[in-house]
Amino acid sequence: MQPTATVLVYSDDANTREQVRLAVGRRPAADLPPVQYLECATLPAVITELEKGGIDALVLDGEANPAGGLGVCRQVKDEIYNCPPVLVLIGRPQDAWLATWSRADAAVTHPVDPVALTDTLAILLRRRIAPPAKTVAHR
């Protein structure tokens, strides 16, 4: 297992980025490595970091300005080869259809529910960084 999981958190609001970090903490689940956060406040910063590689998951604020996380999600899914899984923070449960449109892998409502956010992010990280299952030969 790798030493850390890198999670990019995008929001123009420093408080939202902090809420995500505090909700998830250093380790979202016992079977996952500790999380290292990379915070971005602008779309160009997100694209730059994704192009560098090494990102295991993204948490995007759907209410960010001027580039909302849902539009950012759709753009990175179109433009970034092997894009990491994306969790979007949506303002209302009724906005779930927008998350589907954006091709997000998951969505949770904002304000942040620590349990929902942590559990959902853990699922996405497991998909990305879990070692492949060993095959057992049957006799």
List, for residues 34-60, the tens digit of each pLDDT value.
999 999 999 999 999 999 999 999 999
d(CA 67, CA 69): 7
Could you tell me which residue, 135 or 130, shows the higher pLDDT? Answer: 130
Residues 132-138, mean pLDDT to the nearest whole number = 55
Find the Cα–Cα–Cα–Cα dihedral 105, 110, 114, 119, rounded to 10°.
Answer: -10
Position 15 pLDDT exceeds 90:
yes
pLDDT score for 118: 97
d(CA 138, CA 121): 35
Read off the pLDDT band of 136 (50, 70, 90): low
pTM above 0.85, yes or no: yes
pLDDT score for 5: 96
Give 5-129's CATH code, choosing from 3.10.20.30, 3.40.50.2300, 3.40.395.10, 3.20.20.70. Answer: 3.40.50.2300
